[in-house]
Amino acid sequence: MTIALGEQKKLHYDLTDVGLRAQATAVGLLQLCLELRKVDVLSDAAIDRIKEAITDEIVVCAPRAVNKQEYRRDARARLDRLFAGEQKMGSADELAPQHS
């Protein structure tokens, strides 16, 4: 399931208006997904769709000056590590492109 860009932007602003951009919400979602996967309520395909939806949201907020494909790839790799338990939750600034 891929959401059209216009719908993704509307969802972004709706979530922002409600205040669901907090890191605590992300941690709760991650934990919920892990728990539901552990008891076979969510399939690997469902987890992939959830990660794809999160990646879409991250890319919508990407700075204009960054390469969107690379930014998407990096964001998805970080999500894969988070959902695998290989990376702890950290600052959103870690997703920002590094300038030398």
Domain ranges of the chain: 5-87
With a cut of 80, say whether residue 70 has pLDDT above it: yes
> CA 84, 85, 87, 89 torsion: positive or negative?
positive
Q: Which residues, at least 6 apart from 30, have a Cβ–Cβ distance to it below 8 Å?
A: 82, 83, 89
Q: What is the pLDDT of residue 26?
A: 80
Read off the pLDDT band of 93 (50, 70, 90).
Answer: low
Rounded CA gap, 74 and 41, in Å?
A: 28
Look up the pTM and report it: 0.65
Q: What is the pLDDT of residue 41?
A: 96
Read off the pLDDT band of 67 (50, 70, 90).
Answer: very high
Read off the pLDDT band of 89 (50, 70, 90).
Answer: low
> Tokens representing 77?
């790799």
Average pLDDT of the residues in 43-71: 92
